[in-house]
């Protein structure tokens, strides 16, 4: 029976079009999804868009658009990343989807409410619209949000609050023991330090009179769910949470969005009648808990403190692991519309191709750290690693192999022991690196194997061999090396993998060669 592997990215905030930072996370997740499919696992890969909150509402106003139309158009840009980056996601969830997302988000709220973990109070605080979160004085630097360089707004409201403090010790214990594994270790230490400094109860709703754009609170029609409460639930709503029984009275009361006292009374009665509550959803039961959330370092607190607290309150299992990547800068500077250095992934792919873009972000940027983009570094990588490296190896091997195509071989008799050992050693390095979410190191192992294959051909000089058994064995070993490289590189560069398979393939104890297009034309 195949293992299941449920992987998610953070859902992207649609206040603007996608940039290369969004592309990085999607590509990383795609590699891991493809790798697990190759291993024989049953994979579910989820991404999507976060479409509520004050920042979205204001962005739509600035654009002079009705907010639903604004998010529809902007979300499409994120959907389009699938084709341009050759991503293999299985589902795309939008938080403005009232049929798929809202019922589950409201059900999760209700579970937390019934656990006694929501209470209402008046509150005055400092709100950063960019982060969509309240800030304390200790969060600010010179009175400003360090991420957005703006002073937060002073807000006084009566909101629902979530008793996050109640779950502090339990969350800490689960992270410290790696029951909820945080990767890398530096991010684990960071979040543990934050948790140990004290988790405060957090505002979990906003008055509808101040912001009507969002998911209605099911037990209070005058309030809208806090955008992070709504957004984090996407990981379970996309796999059926809240859809256990589409005809249940409870769901109908949620969907009606009625402010009438009669509807509220009926919903209250339903909550007291367990026999009317939806039964478990097979899809949710199959996929949850998530095996891996992939997120940026700026939203670690939401995913490793608030989200586990919500799940514990609702008596749901926690995700198994959270992988935290860094930011992408451009020539050493943070991307900024003001500086005019925001890189559009669509333009980059149009100029260089999909796989070269995937390769750069997977190889040049260390998976656990911040990384930098520059056109010079990109083109240097393209020329050295792709054109002169992998592309040249495939071209020369196929050209030589065509001389006696197909090349018959016996694995046990013809493949050199040294080559078998080298391939096994590099494969172990590759597996270990992927297990630690060090995608750049996994690719480095592949390129070390490419260098080994080049050296093997240079040392054997098959172009000088006149024919016979010696040439057959050299070409069999070269083909075997190329086959191993192909298998390892394909999750990272799937289009390139397809092109190589048209030039090199194995059948009936033979390796076949057929010269095809140049994989990476020189710039």
Residues assigned a catalytic role: 19, 22, 128, 131, 145, 148, 334, 337
Q: What is the DSSP string of 313-342?
A: HTT-PPPSEEEEE--EEETTEE--TTTT-P
Q: DSSP E strands: which ranges in 129-244?
A: 133-135, 153-162, 181-183, 202-203, 205-207, 216-217, 220-225
Residue with tokens 């006694």: 116
Question: Which residue intervals of 372-503 are DSSP H helices?
Answer: 375-381, 392-401, 411-414, 417-435, 439-460, 468-489, 494-501
Distances (CA, A) of 403 to 455, 465, 466: 20, 11, 11
358: Cβ contacts below 8 Å, ≥ 6 apart:
27, 85, 86, 492, 493
Q: Are 72 and 49 in contact (CB under 8 A)?
A: no
Helices (H) and strands (E) in the chain, counts: 23, 20
Q: Are 347 and 144 in contact (CB under 8 A)?
A: no
Q: Are 401 and 479 in contact (CB under 8 A)?
A: yes
Distance from C-alpha of 321 to C-alpha of 293, rounded to nearest angstrom:
6
Q: Which two tokens stand for residue 457?
A: 């051909």
Q: Would you give the DSSP letter of residue 141? A: B
Q: Which two tokens stand for residue 375?
A: 């056109």
349: Cβ contacts below 8 Å, ≥ 6 apart:
84, 85, 357
Q: Are strands 371-373 and 333-334 parallel, antiparallel or unpaired?
A: unpaired
Distance from C-alpha of 8 to C-alpha of 67, rounded to nearest angstrom:
26
Distance from C-alpha of 184 to C-alpha of 448, rounded to nearest angstrom:
24
Distance from C-alpha of 74 to C-alpha of 76, rounded to nearest angstrom:
5
Q: Are strands 4-9 and 292-296 parallel, antiparallel or unpaired?
A: parallel
Distance from C-alpha of 134 to C-alpha of 203, rounded to nearest angstrom:
8
The CB density around residue 296, as the number of other CB atoms within 10 Å, is: 18
């Amino acid at each position: 029976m195949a293992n299941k592997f449920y992987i998610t990215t953070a859902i992207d905030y649609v206040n603007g079009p996608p940039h290369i930072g969004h592309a990085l996370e999607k590509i990383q997740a795609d590699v891991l999804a493809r790798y697990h499919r190759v291993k024989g696992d049953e994979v579910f890969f989820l991404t999507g868009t976060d479409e509520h909150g004050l920042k979205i509402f204001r962005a739509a106003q600035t654009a002079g658009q009705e907010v639903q139309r604004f998010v529809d158009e902007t979300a499409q840009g994120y959907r389009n990343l699938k084709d341009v980056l050759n991503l293999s996601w299985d589902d795309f969830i939008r938080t403005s989807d009232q049929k798929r997302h809202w019922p589950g988000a409201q059900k999760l709220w209700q579970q937390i409410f019934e656990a006694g973990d929501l209470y209402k109070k008046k509150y005055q605080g400092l709100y950063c619209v960019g982060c969509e979160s309240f800030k304390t004085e200790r969060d600010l630097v010179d009175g400003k949000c360090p991420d957005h360089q703006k002073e937060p707004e002073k807000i006084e409201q009566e909101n629902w609050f979530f008793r996050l403090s109640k779950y502090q010790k339990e969350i800490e214990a689960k992270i410290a023991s790696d029951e909820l594994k945080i990767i890398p270790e530096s991010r684990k230490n960071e979040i543990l330090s934050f948790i140990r400094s004290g988790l405060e109860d957090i505002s979990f709703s906003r008055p509808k009179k101040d912001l009507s754009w969002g998911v209605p609170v099911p037990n209070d029609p005058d309030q809208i769910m806090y955008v992070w409460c709504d957004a984090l639930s996407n990981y379970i709503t996309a796999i059926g949470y809240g859809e256990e029984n589409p005809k249940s009275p409870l769901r109908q009361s949620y969907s009606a969005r009625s402010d009438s006292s009669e509807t509220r009374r009926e919903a209250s009665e339903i909550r007291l009648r367990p026999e009317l509550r939806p039964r478990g959803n097979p899809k949710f039961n199959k996929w949850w808990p998530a095996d891996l959330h992939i997120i940026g370092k700026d939203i670690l607190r939401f995913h490793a403190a608030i989200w586990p607290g919500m799940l514990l309150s609702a008596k749901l299992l926690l995700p198994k692991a959270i992988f935290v990547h860094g930011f992408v800068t451009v020539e050493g500077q943070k991307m900024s519309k003001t500086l005019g250095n925001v890189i559009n992934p669509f333009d980059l792919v149009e100029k260089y191709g999909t796989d070269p873009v995937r390769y750069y972000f997977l190889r040049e940027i260390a998976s656990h750290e911040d990384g930098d983009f520059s056109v010079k570094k990109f083109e240097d990588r393209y020329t050295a690693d792709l054109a002169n490296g992998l592309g040249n190896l495939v071209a020369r091997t196929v050209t030589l192999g065509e001389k006696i195509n197909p090349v018959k071989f016996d694995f046990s008799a013809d493949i050199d022991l040294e080559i078998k050992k080298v391939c096994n050693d590099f494969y172990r390095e590759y597996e270990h690196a992927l297990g630690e979410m060090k995608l750049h190191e996994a690719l480095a192992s592949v390129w070390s194997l490419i260098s080994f294959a080049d050296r093997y051909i240079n040392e054997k000089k098959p172009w000088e061999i006149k024919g016979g058994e010696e040439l057959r064995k050299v070409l069999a070993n070269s083909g075997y090396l190329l086959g191993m490289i192909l298998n390892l590189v394909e999750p990272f560069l799937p289009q390139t993998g397809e092109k190589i398979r048209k030039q090199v393939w194995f059948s009936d104890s033979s390796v076949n060669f057929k010269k095809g297009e140049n994989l990476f034309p020189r710039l």
